[in-house]
Amino acid sequence: MARSKRFELLAQREVNKDSFIHEWPEVGLVNMESPFDPKPSLVVEKGIVKEMDGKKRKDFDIIDYFIIHHCLDLKQAQKGMEMDSLRIARKVLDIDISRKGVIKIFSGLTPAKILEVVKHLDTVEMMMALRKMRARKTPANQAHVTNRRENPVLLAADAAEAALRGFAEEETTVAVPRSAAMNALAVLVGSQTGRGGVLTQCAVEEALNLKLGMLGLTTYSETLSVYGTESTFKDGDDTPWSKAFLASAYASRGTKIRFSSGTGSEVLMGNSEGRSMLYLEIRCLMCIKGAGSQGVQNGSISCIALPLSLPGGGRTVLAENLIATLLDLEVASGNDAMSSHSDMRKTAKLMTQFLPGTDFITSGYSSMPRRDNLFGGGNFDSEDYDDYLILQRDFLVNGGIVPVEEEDVIRIRKKAAKAIQALFKELGFPPITDEEIEVAVTVHWSQDMPERNRVEDLKASERILKENITGLDVARALSKLGYQDIAERILEIQKQRVAGDHLQTSAIFDADFHVLSAINDPNDYQGPGTGYRLAGEIRRRLTDIPQAKDPRQIATRFLTEEPEMLIEEIGEAVIGTDKNEVVIGLGPAFGTVLVETIIGLPHAEVLKEVLRGIEEERVTARLIKIYETSDCAFIGHKAAQLSGSGIALGIQSKGTTVIHQKDLSPLNNLELLSQASNLTIETYRAIGRNAARYVKGEPPFPVPTVIDNMARLKYIVKTTLMHMKETEQVDPNKSPQEVRVKFP
Amino acid sequence: MKEKKFDPRRDYPLASQRPDLVKTVSGLDFSEISLENVSSGKIPPNEIRISPETLEYQARIAEAHGRFQLATNFRRAAELTRVPDEEVLKIYNALRPHQATKEDLIAIAKDIEKKYKAKINARFIREAIKVYERRDLLKKEQRVGENHGTIQTI
């Protein structure tokens, strides 16, 4: 078979490195539309559930029992289960029905019923629903902060930067479990240096995780995973009861928790029981609610490539996030693990959470380069910051990250690095050198950090656990060392753990430690004009990116003291009699108000080259200035009416040039070089020559131009501004003037 | 002066609305937690812990906003504030699949009920026993050498 070059190129595209498979429902390789998913049912006799979703009581597994005992509201169930699923789906989107009203209905639905309802919604409807149903009104974001070498100085600096960039939560983890305490400490100090009130965690196994919380080195945890089938739950070495107990254990120590689940884990672990991935995720979410968790991170998380390999993957993952909110849970909506090789595909997927807004748009935005991400990658990383910020600006959406100035980032990184240096000294930990600090402030990734003694660092990390070094100790030490502001914030974190306000649904802190949660900042979206609107100070901050310039300050070089060209008007231009002339019509601002073309070619040089080209063909040139119009075609057309030969050149100040002929209609022409940004100084000479050749009736030479498809993109703002200046000089009552030009 | 009544619909956040109600486990006032008192050693490192009373307030706030499961979690947590760290971890481990016999779990439930007045947790464990028994999640007697390591999920 002959190979199409286009197909060959398509085959090499990044998106084609992703895996794609057809559905195979029998083994659970299906997103949400499986013929093997149970039909909704609920039989209750004397307050005892006899059957749920087609399964008899004697066949209930641990998940069924847990859902019935702890999640399903039997008082609501009768009404909810009888209601038509399509009707419920419409209620979800009905702006006249409040979030609270929807949640009430869902509190009485079985997993299969919830699935049936959600299946009625398409992707855009799910986005609309998420907008209404997320718990907290103000969206936020979470950062991942790790590095391959587990360098504590770099961790502190990165944590400080992430905090400055506006992340409400920061999650770190370990390469080796022994470094957990030190990593938690570095991120605690760093984050509070960047901004007070950032919640932090260190993802490690539960016992150690709990201990870090008890010491006050972390404030939240999201390691509590659940699964949608009994055997997978057992493989995860837990039960809904053990996880629920653990949730209470964390709360009893003032640590915020959210559970973790997501489509794909069951089939990946070989135990899907032939159910669709979303059906199993609904069972997870109902266990999570039943366990008394305030929230969940889901959206497939680490298995993301699996739902995305099947039809409807993006919609299914969005459905997961939505169902979490329908169950009144806080949702940190994935977008953390690598989802595709293709930037286009990754971004499109992100938009489904980014545009409606969730409690945490990502459950871990890699605040450092992907290579330093110990969570196995990072779907979006420090190199994508500006893309993300500009997307926020484009759609006027708060995605939880704020623009920052480079100098502020450098300052805050240095402060965090110095604080951790002083703290290490105070605690008798392995010293941090000034050189390490210097590198950590500006470095891109950990490989470029000076080598540290890992063995000694690990020993220090173990000392934290052995000697029970607490958040309070850290605050005290930093205060003694003169880092009063950081000390105050770390103390405030400890204080908040006593009040427990952050244990409520969707809680985060602002920079002044005011808690913001579903209780005091509830999402009240009920259609246009309600809910979260980007306005005021935050709108100003999100749109004020450092790349944006003041358009009043962009223009071009203006006329200077020592002009490169003097243009002198010598009287009203008349129709020429010389059959051997080219009339050059100059734009109203040319060489006077504006002195160079859009790419900075001096008008004097442009004109010299054009004149040289005409002269080479032994044709004479006459210069006139047009005031009635700033439009290139009309400048050329007007000049042509005055030309003895009928041939003229029209040159706009930004450099656009046309060869015109008097009998042509204004918008027609002999030659148009419309992209001024692609015209070089040589081009102008060639244009001059061609104009002259038209006069002589000789065939023109092709004018060599550079092809740049991005030209319009790059120069559109400048074009607008230059044209604005040119148009300001237009005087409809001033006829064309003959001019004399001197090049001093 | 009569103490102001707690209103779960209005008194959140406790830290700013009702700091008067917030006390640490050993009864220290919220306002007393300051860098000064920490630095002077007036507050020992282990002192700053949430109290069962505060968790009960949070439970009532959750309940008033329709979050019954979250409230129950806070109430279990309130009881667990009295249980030492090591023991909490021991109970958690016992609740994992095949880690404890029926008798072990019955004993734990009885123990925490008696020692720490952890009634809700005890009831919760007893409920687990019933389900574990039905679903074969209890440890069989005399099965030596079994090792259930934690399987790291991807």
Same domain, residue pair B62 and B108: no
Domain boundaries, chain A: 13-133+223-361, 566-742
**Mean pLDDT of the region B128-132:** 98
Residue pair A30/A276 in contact by the 8 Å Cβ criterion:
yes
Which two structure tokens, joined as six digits, stand for B46? 């282990």
Q: Average pLDDT by consecutive 10-residue portion of chain A (744 residues)? A: 96 98 97 97 97 98 98 96 98 98 98 98 98 98 97 98 98 97 98 98 93 95 95 94 98 97 94 96 98 97 96 98 98 97 98 98 97 92 98 98 98 98 98 98 97 97 96 96 98 96 98 98 98 97 95 68 87 97 97 92 96 97 98 97 98 97 96 90 96 96 86 91 94 97 92
- Which domain does B126 fall in, by range? 82-140
Between CA A243 and CA A221 the distance in angstroms is: 13
What CATH number should be reported for the domain holding residue B101? 1.10.1510.20
Residue pair A180/A146 in contact by the 8 Å Cβ criterion:
no
The reported pLDDT for the residue numbered A707 is 83
| Chain position carrying tokens 């490989």 | A447
Q: Do A210 and B38 touch (CB under 8 A)?
A: no
Between CA B7 and CA B63 the distance in angstroms is: 12
Same domain, residue pair B88 and B132: yes
Q: Flag whether pLDDT at B152 surpasses 60.
A: no
Same domain, residue pair B86 and B127: yes
Which of B9, B36, B131 is most worth mutating to test chain A (most A CB atoms within 10 A of its CB)?
Answer: B131
User: Could you give the number of structural domains in chain B?
Assistant: 2
- pLDDT tens string A77-121: 999 999 999 999 999 999 999 999 999 999 999 999 999 999 999
The reported pLDDT for the residue numbered B26 is 81
Between CA A241 and CA B99 the distance in angstroms is: 13
B80 has a chain A CB within 8 A of its CB: yes
Same domain, residue pair B24 and B42: yes
> Within A369-433, where are the H helices?
385-395, 406-427
Same domain, residue pair B64 and B75: yes
Same domain, residue pair B13 and B68: yes
Q: Do B15 and A520 touch (CB under 8 A)?
A: no
Nearest 10 degrees: Cα torsion B42, B43, B46, B51? 130
Between CA B143 and CA B100 the distance in angstroms is: 11
- pLDDT tens string A486-514: 999 999 999 999 999 999 999 999 999 99
Residue pair A290/B73 in contact by the 8 Å Cβ criterion:
no
Which of A66, A237, A336 is most worth mutating to test chain B (most B CB atoms within 10 A of its CB)?
Answer: A237
Q: Which residues of B touch A505 (CB under 8 A)?
A: 62, 65, 67, 70
Query: Cα–Cα–Cα angle for B37, B43, B46, nearest 5°?
Result: 145
- Full-model pTM: 0.94
CATH numeric code, A566-742? 3.40.50.10150
Query: Would the CA dihedral through A684, A686, A687, A689 be positive or negative?
Result: positive
Same domain, residue pair B92 and B50: no
The CB-side HSE value for A189 (13 A sphere, CA atoms) comes to 34
SS3 A657: strand
- The burial of A400, by beta-carbon neighbours within 10 Å (0-12 exposed, 13-18 middle, 19 or more buried), is given as buried
Candidates B12, B71, B77; nearest CB to A520:
B12
The reported pLDDT for the residue numbered A361 is 98
Residue pair A446/A510 in contact by the 8 Å Cβ criterion:
no
The reported pLDDT for the residue numbered A510 is 97
The reported pLDDT for the residue numbered A557 is 60
Same domain, residue pair B68 and B94: no
Do the domain assignments include residue B1? Answer: no
Q: Do A328 and B132 touch (CB under 8 A)?
A: no
Least confident range of A256-260, A408-412, B29-33, B73-77: B29-33
Between CA A164 and CA A193 the distance in angstroms is: 9
Q: Report how far apart the first and last C-alpha atoms of chain A are (Å, whole number).
A: 68
Q: Flag whether pLDDT at B151 surpasses 90.
A: no
Same domain, residue pair B75 and B94: no
Same domain, residue pair B50 and B111: no
Average pLDDT taken over every residue of chain B: 90
Do the domain assignments include residue B91? Answer: yes
Between CA B99 and CA B110 the distance in angstroms is: 18
Between CA A564 and CA A523 the distance in angstroms is: 63
Question: Do strands A508-509 and A515-516 pair parallel, antiparallel, or not at all (unpaired)?
Answer: antiparallel
Same domain, residue pair B57 and B89: no
Q: Flag whether pLDDT at B144 surpasses 80.
A: no
Residue range A13-133+223-361 forms a domain whose CATH class is alpha beta
Same domain, residue pair B76 and B94: no
- pLDDT tens string A331-347: 999 999 999 999 999 99
Q: What chain B residue is nearest to A289 in terms of C-alpha separation? A: B69
Between CA A687 and CA A611 the distance in angstroms is: 10
Least confident range of A624-638, B86-100, B136-150: B136-150
Q: A567 pairs with which residues across the strands?
A: A741
